[in-house]
Amino acid sequence: MVPPTEAPSPTQRRAPARKGKGRAEGQWALGYREPLNGNEQSKKDDNPLNVRGRIENIYAQRGFDSIDPSDLRGRFRWWGLYTQRAPGIPGARTGTIEPEQLDDSYFMLRIRVDGGALTTEQLRVIGEISQTYARDTADITDRQNVQLHWIRVEDMPAIWQKLESVGLYTTEACGDCPRVVLGSPVAGIAADEIVDATPAIREITERYIGDESLSNLPRKFKTAISGSPRQDVVHETNDISLIGVEHPEHGPGFDLWVGGGLSTNPKLAVRLGAWVPVEEAAEVWNAVVQIFRDYGYRRLRNRARMKFLVSDWGAEKFREVLENEYLGRALTDGPAPPLPDGPRDHVGVHEQVDGNYYVGVTSVAGRVDGSKLIEVAKAAERAGSRRVRTTVEQNLLVLDVPGSEVESLVADLDRLDLRARPSSWRRSVMACTGIEFCKLAIVETKNRAMELVEDLERRLDDVQGDIDKPVTVNLNGCPNACARTQVADIGLKGQLVQDEEGNQVEGFQVHLGGGLGRDAGFGRKIRGHKVTSAEVGDYVERLVRRYVEQRGEDETFAQWTKRVGDEALT
């Protein structure tokens, strides 16, 4: 990754200001450069990338109480740092008290893992940092990052030194900037790969991450690039995605999608109908980011994601602006990639193109720890591997395993509670950070997900063989959908509900029948239907048994939920 640069803003070559046409949304390309809210003012006052110098030279020396609030709750994010939720604050107070009351004096630290690619040395260093500075905490996120908790600002200079010594970074891991680039965990090794996206991801991260000309976007910008026919990077939910496709005349390349995103206004990405060769992927990516920077809405934070711009413009206008104003040339029309068949998650033992094997194992909702990551690195190296990958399902892959070492590695990982042959519930349950550490959360998720997996394994052991495709259960601690609740078979969105005695308790609003790929769409909500956290096991068991009993031939869970009435889903 490049260090911050002084590159001039390309908005200087935009069309003249066109004020007076409609309500000002803070779009730079239309001449609205004055900040319309506090977040925009903070970014104008000082480029957030500059805060690293203050962290190293001031805050790490003087401690938490010396941190300027505008750095603490804003610019720190550009270096992967969020304050944790202060212990003991119940979900009922989320959003009702001042930010400083929610802030703990410890941080969550997000480590970028672009493309999910790690060496065993890098994994070991993350584990060692976790043991030394993070109370042995570690979570694998559904964006392929690793997150640590209990980080002190005093320790950040040492942590950065250790990370960067092995080629790892926290640069723009959070903030209104280009965040981690999702990539296929089997890039470069899968026998069925359409195109290896590794060069494109490498060029993007090396050229553009840390570039000051792209560090002030309206909101976060999410990228996914995969050349796998499994389409294994949830491309439908990202701001930009490049998905492997074979062009009938030009060969393998990428199909370009834009404008996906979940949270409180979910939208699926749209195809632009353009084919992009590997060597042009970084250029096209950069142009799309610039469109978002220059035309994105900056007035209201809740409308500042690119999905709103794409929704308002439509695919045709977006492509026209991309070609005419930013690329200066037409893109090649291309075919849509075929819809994927089979699981996207790469769990299990699979042969690579070179005759070795990769082993995909499940964590439970991404919850691991530093000691476990070190043991995974050791187990991989004993099996002859030096490469691991994280996935968008919060799981791990070990690559390059000789056939003679596969079963030994599987046994070693199983002893770490990382399963290559998991139950359908270990394979399909996902959870966000939740109220344990997150200041936005209302309910507990990680521990609840771990309990739920064990509960469902007992309750539904007799029907596991009858479920052809795992039924996904995604738990989210608030409406922001970090765990992709709207596109899960069973999405559980955290909120406070009343139990049978009228007490306010942790619970969930239920979304049913969401999906990606062939069943792409958002889950339906049953009017007034909510479950308490304690009732989740009963509810999921009841629902799955009805599905097994009532489904038609080859009918997926999502298709079943759309066919049956509300009474079958409560």
> pLDDT tens-digit profile of 487-514?
999 999 999 999 989 899 999 999 999 9
Pair 407, 418: CB distance under 8 Å: no
Name the DSSP class of 7.
P
pLDDT exceeds cutoff 60 at 234: yes
pLDDT exceeds cutoff 90 at 100: no
How far is the C-alpha of 469 from the C-alpha of 474, rounded, in Å?
A: 15
Output the CA torsion 64→66→68→73 (10° steps): 10
Which pLDDT band holds residue 196 (cuts at 50, 70, 90)? Answer: very high
Report the candidate in 90, 147, 83, 144 with the shortest Cα–Cα distance to residue 117: 144
- Cβ burial, residue 392 (10 Å; 0-12/13-18/19+): buried
The pLDDT value given to residue 21: 45
Handedness of CA 193, 199, 200, 206 (dihedral sign): positive
Which pLDDT band holds residue 17 (cuts at 50, 70, 90)? Answer: very low
Which helix (H) or strand (E) segment holds residue 227: the answer is none
Instruction: Show the tokens assigned to 439.
Output: 């200041």
Pair 58, 72: CB distance under 8 Å: no
Three-class DSSP labels, 406-451: HHHHHHHHHHCCCECCCCHHHHHEEECCCCCCCCCCCCCCHHHHHH
Find the mean pLDDT for residues 27-55.
Answer: 96
Residue ranges of E strands in 419-543: 429-431, 473-476, 490-498, 504-512, 524-532
Which residue has better confidence, 183 or 464?
183
Neighbour order of strands in the sheet with 387-390: 117-119, 387-390, 396-401, 357-361, 348-351
Single-letter amino acid code for the residue at 28: W
The pLDDT value given to residue 264: 85
Which pLDDT band holds residue 469 (cuts at 50, 70, 90)? Answer: confident
Partners of residue 258 on adjacent β-strands:
240, 270
Report the candidate in 454, 472, 458, 448 with the shortest Cα–Cα distance to residue 561: 472
Pair 440, 383: CB distance under 8 Å: no
pLDDT exceeds cutoff 70 at 39: yes
Pair 242, 276: CB distance under 8 Å: yes
Single-letter amino acid code for the residue at 181: V
pLDDT exceeds cutoff 60 at 482: yes
Q: What is the pLDDT of residues 348-405, one digit of tens each?
A: 999 999 999 999 999 999 999 999 999 999 999 999 999 999 999 999 999 999 999 9
The pLDDT value given to residue 410: 98
Find the mean pLDDT for residues 202-220.
Answer: 98
Provide the terminal-to-terminal Cα distance of the chain, rounded to the nearest Å.
50
Q: What is the pLDDT of residues 328-339, one digit of tens each?
A: 999 999 999 999
pLDDT exceeds cutoff 70 at 22: no
Weakest mean pLDDT among 21-25, 108-112, 157-161, 393-397: 21-25
**Residue pointed to by tokens 């004020």:** 19
Find the mean pLDDT for residues 31-53.
Answer: 96
The pLDDT value given to residue 341: 82
Which pLDDT band holds residue 8 (cuts at 50, 70, 90)? Answer: very low
How far is the C-alpha of 541 from the C-alpha of 529, rounded, in Å?
A: 16
The pLDDT value given to residue 38: 95
Pair 364, 357: CB distance under 8 Å: no
Average pLDDT over the chain reads 94
The pLDDT value given to residue 494: 96
The pLDDT value given to residue 538: 97
How far is the C-alpha of 534 from the C-alpha of 451, rounded, in Å?
A: 11
Report the candidate in 362, 350, 470 with the shortest Cα–Cα distance to residue 419: 362
pLDDT exceeds cutoff 70 at 65: yes
pLDDT exceeds cutoff 80 at 10: no
pLDDT exceeds cutoff 70 at 152: yes
How far is the C-alpha of 324 from the C-alpha of 314, rounded, in Å?
A: 16
User: Domains in the chain, start-ordered, CATH in brackets?
Assistant: 38-326 (3.30.413.10), 429-568 (3.30.413.10)
> What's the alpha-carbon Rg for the chain, to the nearest Å?
23
- pTM for the model stands at 0.94
Single-letter amino acid code for the residue at 37: N
Find the mean pLDDT for residues 160-181.
Answer: 98
Percent of the chain predicted with pLDDT > 90: 89
Neighbour order of strands in the sheet with 81-85: 81-85, 103-111, 146-151, 137-140, 367-369
The pLDDT value given to residue 9: 42
Q: What is the pLDDT of residues 505-547, one digit of tens each?
A: 999 999 999 999 888 999 999 888 899 999 999 999 999 999 9
The pLDDT value given to residue 154: 98
Q: What is the pLDDT of residues 437-467, one digit of tens each?
A: 999 999 999 999 999 999 999 999 988 888 8
Instruction: Show the tokens assigned to 326.
Output: 């930013």
pLDDT exceeds cutoff 80 at 33: yes
How far is the C-alpha of 423 from the C-alpha of 417, rounded, in Å?
A: 12
Which helix (H) or strand (E) segment holds residue 358: the answer is strand 357-361
pLDDT exceeds cutoff 60 at 557: yes
Find the mean pLDDT for residues 425-433.
Answer: 95
Q: What Å distances lie between residue 181 and 168, 224, 380, 493, 533, CA to CA?
A: 14, 6, 24, 26, 33
Which residue has better confidence, 99 or 514?
514
Q: What Å distances lie between residue 453 and 75, 376, 461, 536, CA to CA?
A: 37, 22, 11, 11
